[in-house]
């Protein structure tokens, strides 16, 4: 079906409006991207067809980024690609390489910043049968909301010995009586009330909408009091102001309710970043939704993915108030490119998130059940097969076919 046959997704009064034939841009990605994209597209199309009998259909529209874009246009990230994501509101992408040398720092980061995709959302949940280093991986069921535009990803830094670094160090040392080594490289870590609140607001609303138990603010505010400490404070202030009937603090829970959560309430708590890494390992069932500044969320989401089988089993999305781009959370693995070998689960799971975003829950549920059934039958790609006794190792395309057969 050509793009001319489809319709645009729109928003009305802040609510997404999805036609029966939405046009959805996709970037197949670099390295293994084409392999996992072909598998994902087949699975999604089959699930939509089986769920809706032809009444609904995604009209895919390829847009370019990465090596394919550079080879065809001379640009790593054409403006037309960003414009299409803005126009059509929902997109999906495979992994992208980062150009070596000057220019774009990271294609993924640039897409997030140019489209103001301020929330990186990473659900992490164990699928039975996936090899895991954990004793009880089934207790891992968390959703990470990571701020995407501030903190270290703002990219405000200068190299050691550069005129900019020396000028800033001199200014800070002389004006604020500090003693930064003049030879230091230096960066700035901005965290704003606006950026923090919109991320935390989205995390709390997600917890309410999906009947989750708690939201944890992860921060290093005991040391960085006016950046990460402020992130924590902004979260409590926002909850008290905007969600007073739905949210109670952990302090109030034990002070006023004896530790028993009242029905219909979400518990808001905070944890220091370093102890969080220990507690998600030792007591994962105490965590549910976690909201974090950029760097904390980056580390934590990959660490949690390791608990459920690695980034190959972890989906992700980057969202603003209207635009959402769903993506594989792993790299391009160029040595496996075009070998029909790698695990497409990360992108397939991201497509499930995309279908849920569209409100096409039946198709999303079919894919999830098909994926879980396929893995339970030990029909898996090489990365899982080598860790699974009695597994039947299959190609990327064969894995997709097995999921489709299980729909």
For 221, counting Cβ atoms within 10 Å of its Cβ (0-12 exposed, 13-18 middle, 19+ buried), the class is: buried
The answer to whether residues 126 and 141 touch, using CB atoms and an 8 Å cutoff, is yes
The active-site residue out of 274, 285, 321, 405 is: 274
The active-site residue out of 88, 118, 153, 234 is: 153
Which residue ranges are tagged as binding site for D-threo-isocitrate?
Answer: 106, 108, 112, 122, 146
Spatial distance between the Cα atoms of 402 and 357, rounded to a whole number of angstroms: 25
Q: What is the structure's pLDDT at 203?
A: 98
Q: What is the structure's pLDDT at 155?
A: 81
CATH annotation of 1-121+315-407: 3.40.718.10
Q: What is the structure's pLDDT at 104?
A: 64
Which residue ranges are tagged as binding site for NADP(+)?
Answer: 97, 330-336, 343, 382, 386
234 part of the active site? no
- List the alpha helices (DSSP H) in 14-132: 33-52, 67-73, 79-88, 107-114
Three-class DSSP category at 263 = coil
The active-site residue out of 35, 151, 298, 383 is: 298
Which residue ranges are tagged as binding site for Mg(2+)?
Answer: 298
Q: What is the structure's pLDDT at 152?
A: 87
298 part of the active site? yes
167 part of the active site? no
Q: What's the DSSP call for residue 391?
A: -
The active-site residue out of 68, 220, 265, 341 is: 220
In this structure, how many other beta carbons lie within 10 angstroms of the beta carbon of residue 366? Answer: 23
Q: What is the structure's pLDDT at 59?
A: 98
Residue 222 token pair: 């005991």
220 part of the active site? yes
Q: Of 269, 373, 291, which Cα lies nearest the Cα of 122?
A: 291
Which residue ranges are tagged as binding site?
Answer: 97, 106, 108, 112, 122, 146, 298, 330-336, 343, 382, 386
CA geometry: angle at 209 spanning 194 and 42, to 5°? 100
Q: What's the DSSP call for residue 230?
A: H
- Residue 278's region, left for phi above 0, alpha for psi from -120 to 50, else beta, is alpha
pLDDT by position in tens, the chain (length 407): 555 689 999 999 999 999 999 999 999 999 999 999 999 999 999 999 999 999 999 999 999 999 999 999 999 999 999 999 999 999 999 999 877 655 566 898 899 989 999 999 999 999 999 999 999 999 999 999 999 999 988 889 999 999 999 999 999 999 999 999 999 999 999 999 999 999 999 999 999 999 999 999 999 999 999 999 999 999 999 999 999 999 999 999 999 999 999 999 999 999 999 999 999 999 999 999 999 999 999 999 999 999 999 888 989 999 999 999 999 999 999 999 999 999 999 999 999 999 999 999 999 999 999 999 999 999 999 999 999 999 999 999 999 999 999 99
Strand bridging mode 15-17 / 392-393: unpaired
């Amino acid at each position: 079906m050509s793009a001319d046959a489809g319709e645009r997704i729109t928003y009305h009064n802040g609510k997404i409006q999805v036609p029966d034939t939405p046009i959805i841009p996709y970037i197949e990605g670099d390295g293994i991207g084409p392999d996992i994209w072909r598998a994902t597209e087949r699975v999604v199309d089959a699930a939509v067809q089986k769920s809706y009998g032809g009444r609904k259909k995604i009209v895919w529209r390829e847009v370019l980024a990465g090596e394919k874009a550079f080879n065809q246009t001379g640009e790593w990230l054409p403006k037309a690609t960003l414009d299409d994501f803005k126009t059509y509101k929902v997109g999906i992408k495979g992994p992208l390489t980062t150009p070596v040398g000057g220019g774009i720092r990271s294609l993924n980061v640039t897409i997030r910043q140019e489209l103001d995709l301020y929330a990186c959302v990473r659900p992490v949940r164990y699928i039975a049968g996936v090899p895991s280093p954990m004793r009880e991986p089934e207790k891992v069921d968390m959703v990470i909301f990571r701020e995407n535009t501030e903190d270290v990803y703002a990219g405000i830094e200068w190299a050691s010995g550069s005129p900019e670094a020396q000028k800033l160090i001199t200014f800070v040392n002389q004006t604020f009586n500090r003693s930064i080594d003049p030879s230091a490289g230096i960066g700035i870590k901005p965290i704003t009330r606006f950026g923090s609140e919109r991320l935390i607001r989205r995390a709390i609303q997600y917890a309410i909408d999906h009947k989750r138990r708690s939201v944890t603010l992860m921060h290093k505010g005991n040391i960085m009091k006016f950046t990460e400490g402020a992130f924590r404070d902004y979260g409590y202030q926002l909850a008290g102001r905007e969600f007073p009937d739905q949210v109670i603090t952990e302090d109030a829970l034990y002070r006023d309710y004896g530790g028993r959560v009242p029905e219909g309430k979400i518990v808001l708590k905070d944890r220091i970043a370093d102890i969080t890494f220990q507690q998600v390992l030792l007591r994962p069932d105490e965590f549910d939704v976690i909201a974090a500044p950029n760097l904390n969320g980056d580390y934590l989401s990959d660490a949690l993915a390791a608990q459920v089988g690695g980034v190959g089993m972890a989906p992700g999305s980057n969202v603003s108030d209207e635009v959402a781009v769903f993506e594989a959370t792993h790299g391009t693995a160029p040595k496996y490119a075009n070998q029909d070998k790698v695990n497409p689960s990360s992108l397939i799971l991201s497509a499930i998130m995309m279908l849920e975003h569209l409100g096409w829950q039946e198709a999303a549920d079919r894919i999830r059940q098909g994926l879980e059934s396929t893995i339970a039958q030990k029909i898996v790609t090489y990365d899982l097969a080598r860790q699974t006794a009695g597994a039947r190792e299959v190609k990327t395309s064969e894995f997709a076919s097995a999921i489709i057969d299980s729909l």
